[in-house]
Structure 1
């Protein structure tokens, strides 16, 4: 059974960059594509006439973006859904039936129906499938490598599994990044000692070793690079992934209050978007 990619469209330049990225990936992977346009009803009258016009406008937008997708040369299976509603809720519901959700990144725009700014972060927190957020300006020649954050958590292990498959498929190195900072004691400077540095390095090496265990057997040709960085995690990942093919980070999952909290690292890299970012699911 082929994979299904759900791509949010709104006719903007940012959305079309994400659409092109998703279509290229779907072609490579033999995946089918569903385009989704949501007309935001937050500022609409609840009258039947207004809602009917909004639905018609949504369908027109979907038709235009479907035609645009075909103009890019995509020959795979493509379908579409046009709805009126709250974008976060509608995308969350649609993500139940997708293998990957793809969104563009909008900075500062607040057009009705668009997937912009913090909405990408909120969608990534609530979606039922992995979410790819694509920068508005794609790197013409990305440097080879799939970057993944490692911290020893279950979320990190899931991210490593996804990143390894991606790197193997692309024939690119897997770059496993572990970032650490010395503990901060209130009112004091950072406390340094050779023992502290050595213990942190040992913990980092152990976390990476556990995280990548078994990958050599599964992907014999996969090159794995290990980077241990003394830096805040977001800064380390953004720097390592600047211009890279892909950055993969793990989420906390979807339970209780955690479904509303993406996590500071995932949130931070989505705000910076040094390259296409995939947020994996629990």
Structure 2
């Protein structure tokens, strides 16, 4: 069964950067594409006339962006959804029928705080499939794929996703494990040699378990292991400064907790050193 990519569109430049990224990946994977435009009804009048106008505007936006997708040369299947409603709820529902959600990253300007701006963090927290947030950065062909490792089930899913992407693009996979001794910064002189060694041993074990099986599944994939003494967000952002893609896992526990994105995922989405994919539990 063919994969489906759900790509958010709003006609802005950041949105079109994400659209081009998503279409390129869909072409590589032979995936179909569904474009979605959500007219936020948070500040709209509840009158039938206003809602009707909003729906019409949403449909017109979808038509324009569909035509633009064809102008970019995408020859695969494209469908579209134009709705008026709460953006987070609408994209969560739509994500149930997708294998990947692709969003642009708006920072500042008149789109600040819009569906595809800071709300992308909330989308990543609530979606039922991986979410890719694409910043406006220069393309880095042949650059590695970076993935965060911490020994959790969430990171194992992230590693599996990242390994597949790296193998497909024939680039190295960089698995990063970051650790910090549980002491107040500035009191490093209190660290014992035994404490540091135990932390390093735990890191090496976690990263070994995390990448176990990758060599068998992807025998030609180059896997680099990096154990960094730093905060996870800082380590991943630095490692991804020259990467093509950064993948992080987010624990999905259900209920109200699934509305909260982990601190690491949230941190890298705020920095966006390159396209970031957040995988879900």
> Paired residues, what number?
280
Counterpart for residue 120 of structure 2: 120
Unaligned 5+ segments in structure 1 are none
Q: Classify 1:110/1:123 alpha carbon distance in 2 versus 1 (closer, same or farther; 3 Å).
A: farther
Counterpart for residue 91 of structure 1: 91
| Distance apart, 1:195 and its partner CA | 1.1
Q: Classify 1:147/1:108 alpha carbon distance in 2 versus 1 (closer, same or farther; 3 Å).
A: same
Counterpart for residue 61 of structure 2: 61
| Distance apart, 1:260 and its partner CA | 1.1
In structure 2, the residue corresponding to 1:172 is in which secondary structure?
coil
- 1:163 equivalent to 2:162? Answer yes
> Residues 65-114 of structure 1: CA distance to partner in whole angstroms, max 9, x if unpaired?
00100000110000100000011110001001000000000112454994
Counterpart for residue 108 of structure 2: 108
In structure 1, the residue corresponding to 2:143 is in which secondary structure?
strand
- Kept after mapping to 1: 8 A contact 2:20/2:72: yes
> Residues 173-201 of structure 1: CA distance to partner in whole angstroms, max 9, x if unpaired?
11000001111259x82431211111111
Between 106-115 and 10-19, the greater mean CA deviation after superposition: 106-115
| Distance apart, 1:142 and its partner CA | 4.4
Normalised to the residue count of structure 2, the TM-score between the two structures is 0.96
| Distance apart, 1:132 and its partner CA | 0.4
Counterpart for residue 270 of structure 1: 269
| Distance apart, 1:138 and its partner CA | 2.8
In structure 2, the residue corresponding to 1:7 is in which secondary structure?
strand
- Kept after mapping to 2: 8 A contact 1:110/1:116: no
Alpha-carbon distance in 1 for matches of 2:85, 2:277: 25
Alpha-carbon distance in 2 for matches of 1:142, 1:179: 26
> Residues 25-65 of structure 1: CA distance to partner in whole angstroms, max 9, x if unpaired?
01111000000000000010000000000000000000000
- Kept after mapping to 1: 8 A contact 2:7/2:36: yes
- Kept after mapping to 1: 8 A contact 2:139/2:244: no
| Distance apart, 1:141 and its partner CA | 3.0
Q: CA RMSD in A?
A: 1.6
Counterpart for residue 151 of structure 1: 150
2:187 aligned to 189, 198, 204, which one? Answer: 189
Alpha-carbon distance in 2 for matches of 1:140, 1:163: 18
Normalised to the residue count of structure 1, the TM-score between the two structures is 0.96
